[in-house]
């Protein structure tokens, strides 16, 4: 089987494969991290309830948002679907279908089925897809099919014994004023007792961004809080490059994720309590719906264009 793999598949297989020695985290360290998060959530939940505020759900997008620009986080940041943004969603859905396809999948067929399922589901780009012109549909199909082909030729074949799960929903705690969670594109492996065997993978159709690793560390933290067993690795798989960027999960990585997650939760609660939002310019200013009325963002973009 290995002889039939492309060099890219072999490279990524080597990055993702399990080590010979079992990975077992120190139980006391994991229990300490969990207790820390329990204390933080209990304290912040009490503040929300005392102020009569609505519940807060924080996923990777909202965490990055509140830590990026608070004004954008609390503002009316409307999002419009188009060929570029919908292509990534369709490609993800098609790849997920292909992972569970019994026969050898045809990429273009997977894309067509993915479009039909998204429209039927009624969420995400469903409305836009239903009204897209033939030219827009053709453009989208081309881009999504390209992404599926890239995945097939660069990601190693998935052994069913690794129990692959696509669009895996994770959340912690089960309910409450503050809940952390999200959906993971692909999870390989399951924990065996205290041994870490899971690999958490995000598929990326765009360019690399610094927060991608932060997103995965957040997923590793939620998985640890949820099961008591951290995943062994997290990885962003960039389809255009055909390459996985992998990190081994460690206690220090989880501590880093706690600091970032707590910072986001504290900021979200403070904003809910009425603190004025700060404005922080950055790369997202160019696509921000508040750009026309934001002097800070406009000045940042003007300076960027001048240079």
Note down pLDDT in tens along the chain; length 307 residues. Answer: 556 899 999 999 999 988 778 999 999 999 999 999 999 999 999 999 888 888 999 999 999 999 999 999 998 656 789 999 999 999 999 999 999 898 888 999 999 999 999 999 999 999 999 999 999 999 999 999 999 999 999 999 998 889 999 999 999 999 989 999 999 999 999 988 999 999 999 999 888 888 899 999 999 999 999 999 999 999 999 999 999 999 999 999 999 999 999 999 999 999 999 999 999 998 788 878 888 888 888 888 888 877 7
Q: What pTM does this model have?
A: 0.92
- Give residue limits of the domains in the chain: 24-78+160-273, 83-154
Topology classification of domain 24-78+160-273: Lambda Exonuclease; Chain A (3.90.320)
3-class secondary structure for the chain? CHHHCCHHHHHHHHHHCCCCCCCECCHHHHHHHHHHHHHHHHHHHHHHHHCCCCCEEECHHHHHHHHHCHHHHHCCCCCCCCHHHHHHHHHHHHHHHHHCCCCCCCHHHHHHHHHHHHHHHCCCCHHHHHHCCHHHHHHHHHHHHHHHHHHHHHCCCCCHHHCCEEEEEEEECCCCCEEEEEEEEEEECCCECCECCCEEEEEECCCCCCHHHHHHHHHHHHHHHHHCCCCCEEEEEECCCCEEEEEECCHHHHHHHHHHHHHHHHHHHHHHHCCCCCCCCCHHHHHCCCHHHCHHHHHHHHHHHHC
């Amino acid at each position: 089987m290995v002889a039939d793999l492309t060099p890219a598949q072999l490279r990524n297989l080597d990055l993702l494969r399990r080590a010979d020695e079992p990975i077992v985290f120190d139980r006391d360290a994991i229990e300490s991290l969990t207790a820390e998060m329990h204390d933080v959530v209990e304290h912040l939940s009490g503040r929300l309830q005392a102020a009569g505020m609505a519940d807060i759900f924080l996923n990777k997008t909202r965490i990055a948002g509140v830590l990026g620009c608070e004004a954008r986080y609390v503002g009316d940041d409307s999002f419009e679907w188009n060929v570029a943004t919908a292509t990534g969603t369709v490609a993800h859905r098609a790849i997920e279908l292909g992972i569970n396809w019994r026969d050898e999948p045809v990429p273009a067929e997977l894309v067509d089925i993915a479009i039909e399922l998204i429209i039927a589901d009624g969420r995400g780009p469903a409305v836009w897809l239903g009204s897209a012109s033939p030219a827009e549909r053709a453009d989208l199909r081309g881009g999504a099919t390209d992404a599926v082909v890239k995945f097939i030729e660069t990601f190693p074949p998935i052994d069913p014994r690794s129990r692959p799960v696509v669009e895996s929903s994770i959340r912690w705690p089960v309910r409450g004023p503050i809940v952390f969670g999200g959906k993971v594109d692909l999870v390989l492996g399951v924990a065996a007792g205290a041994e870490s065997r899971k690999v958490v993978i995000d598929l990326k159709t765009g360019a690399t961004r610094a927060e991608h690793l932060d997103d995965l560390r957040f997923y590793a933290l939620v998985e640890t809080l949820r099961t008591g067993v951290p995943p062994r690795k997290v990885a962003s798989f960039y389809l255009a490059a055909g390459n996985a960027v992998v990190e081994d999960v460690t206690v220090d990585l989880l501590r880093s994720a706690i600091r970032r997650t707590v910072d986001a939760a504290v900021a979200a609660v403070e904003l809910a309590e009425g603190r004025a939002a700060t404005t922080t310019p950055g790369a997202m200013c160019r696509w921000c719906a508040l750009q026309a009325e934001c002097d800070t963002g406009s000045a940042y973009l003007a300076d960027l264009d001048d240079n």
